Every structure is written in C-alpha cells, then in structure tokens.
Amino acid sequence: MIWLLIALPPLAVALAYRRAPLFHWLVAGVAWLAVAAAAGGWNVLVALVVIGLFAGVMLFLMNDGMRRTNLTAPILKAFRKALPSMSQTERDALEAGSVWWEGDLFGGRPKWTRMLDYPWPKLTTEEQRFLDEDTTELCRLTRDWEATQKQDLPPEVWRYIKERGFLGMIIPKEYGGKGFSAYAHSQVVTKLSTRSSAPAVTVMVPNSLGPAELLLHYGTEAQKSHYLPRLARGEDIPAFALTSPWAGSDAASIPDAGVVCKGMYQGQEVLGMRVSFDKRYITLAPVCTVFGLAFRLFDPDHLLGDTEDIGITCALVPWNHPGVDIGRRHFPLNAVWMNGPIRGAEVFMPLDFIIGGPDMAGQGWRMLMECLAAGRSISLPGSNTGMQKMTARAVGAYARVRYQFKTAIGRFEGVEEALTRIGANTYMCDAARVFTAGAIDLGEKPSVVSAIVKYHVTERARQTVNDGMDVIGGKGICLGPQNFLGRAYQQIPVGITVEGANILTRSLILFGQGAVRCHPYVLDEMHSAQANDLVAFDKALWGHVGYTLSNAARALVMGLTGSHFVDVPADVAPETRRYYQQLTRFSAAFAYIADISMGTMGGALKRKEKLSARLGDILSLMYLASATLRRFEAEGRRAEDAPLMHWAIWDCMFRIQLAFEGVIANFPSRFFAFFIRRVVVFPLGRPYVVPSDELGHEVARLLIAPSATRDRLTSDVYLPKDDLEDPVGALEAALLATIEAEPIEARVKQALRDKRFSAGLHIGDGIDGIYADAAEAGVITPQELAVIRRKGALRDKVIRVDDFPYDFGLREALADLSDDDQQLRREAA
C-alpha cells in the first residue's frame, strides 16, 4: 500500500483547490492510477484493467442521461422516502432570512477579500450627536438603585425617552422617526446598558422584534400611516405577545388560536376573528398601549378560502380593546423594566387588525423569523456587550485601586486570569456585535448569524460578569447604590433565556439550521426531492459529492502542510496571516465533517444534539474569529491593541480544536472518526494550545491603567463627570489618584525599609498613618502627603459597601401590624 500513499498527495493537490467537474476528475484519476501503477510495479495488463474500469465509471458518470436514469433516480427515490415531512412553519423557519459570511465559513472556502471589503459601520453626524448628547443625558437621568426601589423609571425619564424619539429609532423619517441605522440602534442600546438595564430594555424592545418592525416590512399603508407616527412620538408604547405558558422555546407550537367569523365592531357587523390567548413574559406589556399578537388562525366555515388551518397570524391590538386583560407584571430577577402577561378569551377583532391586512393571514411565522433575524442581531448583543464594557472599565479600575497583601489585587496572577478573560471577551464580543450590525445595514437578515451572536455574546457576558464579581469580591455581593455590578449579575440569566434559550440555540439552531441554510447544496436537494425534480436533484447531488471530496482533499493537504501555502489577501496585517490560513483549514475540515455527519447519520443527526452543538461551536467560533480579525483591520492594526486580538483568536482556535475532538470522540462510526482525526483534521496533531500566560498578562495590564487602548475597549461606557457619589465616577477618580500616589508610596516603603523614619506615630490616621509619619520625618512633602490622603479618601469611597436599617423594605408591612406583632417580626428579622 506504500504506492497508494505515494500517489495520493498528487491527486489531492490536483483537486484540492477547485470544485472540479467530472472531466477533470477523470483526467486526474487516470493520471493518478498511471503514477500508482508505475510506482507499485503493477503488471501492465492489471494496470490497464484498473485504469479502464476507472475510466468506464467516470465516463458513465459524465453521461447525463445514463447517470440520471440508472444512478440518480434510485438515489432520489430513497432520498424522498427518508426525507421527513416538513410543515409550512418548519419550512418558513428554515428559509427565513439570508445567508451572509457564515455561508463562506460553512462552505469550506472563505473568501477573505470579500470579508475585508465589507464596510466597517460608522455613525452619521446625526447619529453620533444623538449618542453623545441624548443618550448620555438619558444615562445621567437614570439612577438604577432608585429605580429598583420604586420598580419603575421616574416619570421624567419616561417623558425624556418619548420626547427625544428613543422609541422610534428604526422608524423612517417620513413617519416621524429617526431613521437610524442598525449600527446606531446597537450603539444606543450598548451605551444605555453600561448604565442600567431599565432604559436599555425599554428602548431596545420597541426598536427590535415588535409592531414597528413588522409594520415597516409587512403593514398596509393605512396601518403604517396610523401607527408609525404615534410610535415615533411615544404616543403609543408597543409590546409583542408571542410566548405562552405551553410554548416557550417551541414558539411555533403556540396554542393561542382564533377562528374566522362575523361579529360586531364599532356598531357594525364585520368579518373578523374570535381569538383566545394567554401570553406571558411580554416586555412592556404592563404599560403598552398597543401590542402585536401571534396566534394560529382557523377558518372552519371557509369564509376566507378553502384552507381551514390558515396558520400563524400576527395582529395589532389596542390595549383597551374589549376583552383584553392587561396591566399585571412579572419581576424578571427583580428587573425594573416592565414585563407581564397579556390574556384574552373569545376576543373579537376585525380582519383589519392583521398586520398587512387579510392577505397576510397565515404568514405570521415567516414574518417573525425574518424580523427576529434582524432584531436578535442587535438587541441582546448590544445590551450584553454594554455589560461587558462596563465590567472591563470598572473592574479593571477596582483591581488597581484595591490593595491586599500590600499589593494591588490586579497584579496577582489569579486575578490577572479573570481580567484577561474580561478584556479579550469584551474585545471579541464588541467586534461580533459591530460586524453583525453592519450586515443588517447591508440589507442582510442573517438568521444563523443572529443566533450565533445572541448565544455567544450572552454566554461570554455571563463569563465576564462572573469574573468581575470574583475580582471585586464582597463589594459585589452587597446590593445598594455603591454596587456597580450586582444588578448586572442578577439579570445576566435573562439574556441567556430570551429570544431563544441558549441551550436550545446551541443544540438545535446553530448547526441544525446552519446545515440547511448555509450549505451550498442541501436546501436545493431538499427542494428538488420534494418537487420530484430529477434534473435539479441530479445537479445538486453530484455538485454535493464533488464539494465533499474537494473539501476532504483540501483539508488533508492543508493539514499535511500546516496550511502554510494557503492564499490569503496580501494586505492583511502580517501578524494575523497565520490566523487566516488556519481558519481556512478549519473551514474546509468543518465542511467535510459536516457532510460526513449528515451523510452517515441522516435525520438521526437532529437527535444527536451534543454532536450538533459541537459542530455549531466550530461554525460559531470561526465567525467570532473572523469578526475579531475584521475589527483589528478596521481599527488600523494598532500594535497596542494586538494583545486583545491575539488572546481572543488563540482562545477561539483552541476551542475549535476541542469542539472537533468532541465530535470525533463521539462519532458513531469509528472508521470515520479515525479517518477524520488522523487524515483530514489533525494529521500532524493539533496546532493550538491555550493562550499563553505572558499574553494574558499583557491583556490584564491594559485594564488596570489609563490608555487609548482601554478607552477604545470601553468606548461609550457612561462615565459620570465629577460625581464622586456615583460608584463608577468614584472609580475613575480613584484610579488616577492611585497611579499618582504609587511612586510616593514606593518611596515611603523604601525609606521605611532603610529605617529613615519610625512608623506608628499616627495610628489615628488608619492604614495611611505611615505616610503622615513619613511627612513628619521629611521623607515626603506636605503636597505629596495631600496626594496620598486624596487617594486614600477615594479608595475608601470605592471599597465601601452600603448598609441599611435592619427593617429596610419592611416598614410598610410593619406599619399595618400591632406593637406585639412588630416586635415578633423584628425578632424574626
């Protein structure tokens, strides 16, 4: 078999860099067999027979009529039998939205020049002003702790939100809105989230999946003209009611239903619907004035046509419409933003309530999926990136100001690990957020990408906030106005849960939907099989076969050569060149293993959720790495930012390897598992290890000192000016004071070691008494002592935690009790 191993690389090289038509496979195959015969010392007759057989097979495949009749037709018959039935709802979910950069990554041939040509989003002058002025002012008006105690934003904040047009950012100017880009929308949500979730979510939801978005794309002109100006001015507050107690992640199974019938509306008999619904978790429901409603519509009397089960339909319903029960609220982890149930039984509403009018009855699920692809790309990625930016800024400063064992805690290696993850994850998530918002502004509705950024940004935000809580320790666990991270920690699970629970998204959506939407042939195979179209199926099938073999050959060649010969754009940063090459290699290997998985497991792959999740991890991590590389190029390849980029990419690459290993180790076919690992994916071993400690040290160092890099990493974090009672404002001042005091402190400590003065004379000054002793001994000047004391005062502000009367929060309850009962309650407390 030595000759086979000798002859295989030339064939692989010949086929690796093109999706060759069958004629090229014939020529290359005959040449390969000739080389193999010569190298192996075959008998001439044997060699001719083998070459003849191969040529005969290839000529058969090249004959369209013979191939289709004798080979493709039986395969089509078997494929149609194995293909599971697909409801219209499932079809809508699979086909909704568009395929963008993730398609290149899934296909095994990422065109890096195209990715680098995607414009990096920028704000217009008007959008920048709104961010710098209006959004900053809204942050200033918001006091999260005060709002938490009242469980609502103050009236003046609500008024400001409405008057300044925050609820109409996506509404075009012709309807009175701002007409902002998706990137501007994302920037506003991100900045608000650095201050409080209350204004962020209040602003986010009306500009995401909701009435305005649906009206813009599907509403009638009458609906647009009536509602959009009112929504833009804040006269109407919208909500959207989708989730029910019996259908959460499986939203397509909503039991809420309506029946087409005639009824009375505004004194006249009209054709309408009688709808019963029970919705929960509806953001802004308690205060909304109009809400979108998703339900399944039936027409048993055929008043609209021949179809009885019309399908999921979306309607727009005023809050005070007869029969609507609205106004109560939930408390999602004690969040301030409004959220609650919406219910109704046998509520009659005219067909004109349907978004888009009666013609759009039954089109609701596709409408929702397409709008979700856009909204999910902006809302949670924006809000959770904002949390990470605030964490990076504040925790980094705290780690420099807070001392233990006579050392800033940020200089301990254990704390450095947490700071490193905070910094690199924030850099990468912000890159993915901006990159994806840019896709929306290019007109894309990337359903798979929206799931990727929703899942990974919220998961990494959870890691970031957890790391931040670990660093600040006791400061983080005592709630109060001085706690800058506790409320974010409380509410992180909300982002994990909504807009597609993360477990479901990872297990079923990232690869499950990606395999159909991003694959260049699978969807065409499914459509042609369902239509029983032999010609179209033949084209898709054999294109798929060539695609799979080509990716296997390319992955093998790149694995054996370490991907050193992969072409990448000449103008990329030299220090990132190897990343592009390795990502190309991983992309080809992923495309091959995805095809082998689908081919060997078929429909059973859908039930192999752990395998599907790991395949989704590979696709997702390649996307995150791509976004990180694009950001590094867009921001001018700054050397001082490079540690953030390098750590994030190394982390992605290492995780990609782990995901490959997880797939291979659990692959049902051990033959394919061995072949994939040893031949296709890791023929020379795994190229990446965990990011180095030295690199992590460089990243952590960026968080604990003022710099342009730190400012870029935490751009648009709301920083209160000259407000030392605000915990973030105090941290900013304390960081500068600490850095100013450090050389003075070092000089005093050295003087103490040199026994130039005696400590302990100013015990009443607490931990800073030593510096008063040093000043008295002439080691430092009075001015330097003032610097130390200012630093100490700011440090004490930063590390303090809040305390309250023991009956805080119980006073109203105690007021209604007798004296004896009050005493019992106090003793219990």
Name the residues annotated as catalytic. 499
Spatial distance between the Cα atoms of 39 and 43, rounded to a whole number of angstroms: 11
Please state, in angstroms and rounded to a whole number, the distance separating the CA atoms of residues 625 and 459. Answer: 16
Axis crossing angle, helix 221-233 with helix 211-218, rounded to the nearest 10? 150
Q: Are 280 and 343 in contact (CB under 8 A)?
A: no
CA distance 496 to 530: 37
Contact assessment for residue 234 and residue 163, using Cβ atoms and an 8 Å cutoff:
yes
8 A C-beta contact, residue 463 and residue 385: no
Q: What is the DSSP letter of 780?
A: S
Length of the chain: 829
124 dihedral zone (left: phi>0; alpha: psi -120 to 50; beta): beta
234 membership: H or E segment, kind and range: none
Q: Regarding beta strands 268-283 and 339-350, do their DSSP bridges make them parallel or antiparallel, or are they unpaired?
A: antiparallel
Could you tell me if 502 and 459 are in contact, meaning their C-beta atoms sit under 8 angstroms apart? yes
Give the count of beta carbons closer than 10 Å to the beta carbon of residue 400: 21
Buried b (16+ CB within 10 A) or exposed e, 43-67: eeeebeeebeebeeebeebeeeeeb
Do the Cβ atoms of 587 and 615 come closer than 8 Å? no
Q: Pick the closest to residue 88 from 305, 236, 309, 304 (CA basis).
A: 309
CA–CA gap between residue 322 and residue 275 (Å, rounded)? 12
Q: Nearest-CA neighbor of 166 among 145, 142, 135?
A: 135
Name which of 385, 451, 365, 431 is nearest 99 in CA terms: 451
Q: How far is CA 275 from CA 58, 294, 352, 733, 769, in A?
A: 61, 10, 14, 58, 74
User: Please, what's the b/e burial string for 747-766 (b: 16 or more CB within 10 A of its CB; e: otherwise)?
Assistant: ebeebbeeeebeeeebeeee
State how far the Cα of 569 lies from the Cα of 112, in Å rounded to an integer: 7
Count how many Cα atoms sit within 13 Å of the Cα of residue 427 in the half-sphere of its side chain: 34
Question: From the CB of residue 117, how many other CB atoms can be counted at a distance below 10 Å?
Answer: 9
Helix locations, 17-87, DSSP H: 22-40, 44-62, 64-67, 73-82
Eight-state DSSP code of residue 704: S
Radius of gyration of the chain (CA): 31
The beta strand positions in 606-646, using DSSP E, are none
Distance CA 604, CA 672 (A): 17
- What lies within 8 Å, CB to CB, of 513 at 6+ separation is 93, 94, 447, 448, 451
Q: How far is CA 301 from the centre of its chain?
A: 45
Q: What are residue 298's DSSP bridge partners?
A: 259, 309
**H-only helix segments in 777-815:** 782-799, 811-815
How many angstroms separate the CA atoms of 674 and 665, rounded?
9
Amino acid at 659: A
What are the tokens at 99? 């395929």
Candidates 242, 315, 249; CA nearest to 279 is: 242
Dihedral of CA 113/114/119/121: which sign? negative
